[in-house]
Amino acid sequence: MNGSSHAALPRRQFLKGLGLGAAVNAAWEPWQARAAAEARLGQRTISIFHTTDLHGHILPTTSYDGLSNVGGLARCATQLRRWREAQPHSLLIDLGDIYQGTPESRSNDGQLMIQLLNKLRYDAWIIGNHEFDWGFPTFAKSLAASAMPVLASNAKIGSRFANQLEPTHPLSRIAPYLIKEVAGFKIGIIGSVTPGLPSWLHQTLLADFFAADPLPSVQFAIKKLQAENVDAIILACHFGLKAMYGLKPAPDDFANRINELTRTCRELHVVIGAHTHKDLPNHLVNGIPYTQASYYGIHLGRIDLTFDLDSRQLVNRSLSTHLMAGTIPEDPLILAAAAPDLAAAHNLMARTVATFTAPLPSLSRPGAPPPSLLLITRSIRHALATRGVPVDGVIHGLFLGDRELPAGPVTLGQLGDVIPYENRLATVLLTGAELFPVMEELYSAKHSTHQLDGFRVTTQGLKSQLKVTAIATPDGAPVDPAKSYRIALNAYDAQSAGRRFERLGQTCLQPRAQLTIHPTESRDALVEFISARRQLGPQDLLPT
């Protein structure tokens, strides 16, 4: 990679100033022909390669629509080496959600993924929301281990670290933007993290990190970059579009602000998106080129910016994403670096921890948790009770769809399918009166499989018309509307599950509810519960 970095504006100075303390050409030419043509025309092309939402995937995986043997960072690394050999004037960035998602990454708190990005000489990475799933200490450790700048112009640091940011605290590594000089041209890259963090993550996990409104921070960064006379301004954000409907992009929501930013910030030359896991190779959003390279390394993104050498004007922008299919070999250096962690994770996930004596069904009606869900709720109840926190009930959902858990040996890897995301356990005090609207919301929400274990719930109607007509304790007595019951759930749901369950989130966040986040994770509770019993069947999970 060719280029030198300019010092990023110090975060404190940036926040003080902010008030927070050529049409797209999709055609691809052979590299040699392009270089010859540029020489004749007096032009130079600078490329930006990008990955996003890797989620710890080093090896090939399967896409959401069933395409197998695709993606993975090792395969992306091979393509990156090829591109770099053909195009020495390049930058490489990642758009966030780097390490959460695989056992090989979980076992070392994501440090393996940061080390691999260091080895591949990434120029920067953008903070993603899942960087905080394992808690603030893990995020701080990743910042400290990163050899590359970490960008988020809308990152706002609370007063807790105000006197520690300079110069050694890991949070001092966060910069609003990066200026990189490549082949004589200055490229400005603005980072931005999704403002949806509080809807997914409790402040316990975020500590004093906040994601502010991205618009004013991006506008301010643009002014700073213009003052530095950069030749192109790129917005790299960990939020994106959910879809393109022909020429019309999906509308913005609380977490994704692409339409607003492209409509307002006309100085942007390209926007690179992330977070929504969509492959959107080459689109115009309010006339500004937009691209997004899916997830898990299944697609690798490329932007070519062509400048006129005399005028220094940007004369062409070419955006694309490329499928990392089985024809692309996995990079041996990345495989060698990751080999011990991959082998350890494989052996761990293959370990048998118990046996299901009969299938555990997953389908049921509202008010009647199925055995596969009771497996989760009983695990949570057991984990909290053994830690001195007895609960009256547990709210949780399923990720299995209509699949039942089959009879036979159960491995740790299979339990990862039952609970695929790491979530801290939480407890909250809800009155009997509050349980009624909360459960109506959960039962009626689209795609929701949530149930309340520990109480007898009676309903009438279906989905949007569903009403909870009665909630009783295990002995059949109606709940007391004024009495508080301790309910366990996961921290994600307690934060409204990304505004899916607004009533639940609002109720949990009332001071009277005494929301408490516990250090135990739901998947660990499941493993602990099932490992202790060795054999389980539906009869062992009868509802109370």
- Residues 497-514: pLDDT tens digits? 999 999 999 999 999 999
What does the alpha-carbon distance between residue 423 and residue 418 come to, in Å, rounded to a whole number? Answer: 13
Predicted confidence (pLDDT) at residue 132 exceeds the cutoff of 60 = yes
What's the confidence (pLDDT) of residue 302?
98
Predicted confidence (pLDDT) at residue 372 exceeds the cutoff of 50 = yes
| Nearest in space to 326 (alpha carbons), one of 72, 37, 15, 115 | 72
What does the alpha-carbon distance between residue 541 and residue 226 come to, in Å, rounded to a whole number? Answer: 63
| Burial bucket for residue 186 (CB in 10 Å: 0-12, 13-18, 19+) | middle
- Please state, for a pLDDT cut of 70, what percent of the chain lies above it: 92
Q: Are strands 270-273 and 279-285 parallel, antiparallel or unpaired?
A: unpaired
For the segment 280-324, what is each residue's pLDDT rounded down to a tens digit? 999 999 999 999 999 999 999 999 999 999 999 999 999 999 999
What does the alpha-carbon distance between residue 249 and residue 259 come to, in Å, rounded to a whole number? Answer: 8
For the segment 231-286, what is each residue's pLDDT rounded down to a tens digit? 999 999 999 999 999 999 999 999 999 999 999 999 999 999 999 999 999 999 99
What's the confidence (pLDDT) of residue 163?
47
CA 300 remoteness from chain centre: 17
Instruction: Judge contact between 152 and 126, C-beta under 8 A.
Output: yes
Q: What is the DSSP string of 451-499?
A: EEESSEEEEES-GGG-EEEEEE-TTSPBPPTTSEEEEEEEHHHHTTTTT
Q: Which residues contact 130 (CB under 8 A, 6 or more apart)?
A: 55, 96, 97, 99, 100, 101
Q: Which two tokens stand for residue 186?
A: 């200055």
For the segment 409-466, what is each residue's pLDDT rounded down to a tens digit? 999 999 998 999 999 999 999 999 999 999 999 999 999 999 999 999 999 998 888 9
For the segment 210-221, what is each residue's pLDDT rounded down to a tens digit? 999 999 999 999
4-345 has which CATH code? 3.60.21.10
Instruction: Judge contact between 394 and 487, C-beta under 8 A.
Output: yes
Q: How far is CA 481 from CA 395, 432, 436, 471, in A?
A: 18, 4, 9, 10
Q: Which two tokens stand for residue 381?
A: 């109840």
Instruction: Judge contact between 26 and 281, C-beta under 8 A.
Output: yes
Where are the chain's structural domains?
Answer: 4-345, 352-541
> pTM for this one?
0.92
Q: Which two tokens stand for residue 299?
A: 């697609």
Give 352-541's CATH code, choosing from 3.10.20.740, 3.40.50.720, 3.90.950.20, 3.90.780.10. Answer: 3.90.780.10
Q: Which residues contact 177 (CB under 8 A, 6 or more apart)?
A: 8, 9, 151, 153, 188, 189, 190, 191, 221, 224, 225
Cβ neighbours around 16 below 10 Å, total = 11
For the segment 342-356, what is each residue's pLDDT rounded down to a tens digit? 999 999 999 999 999
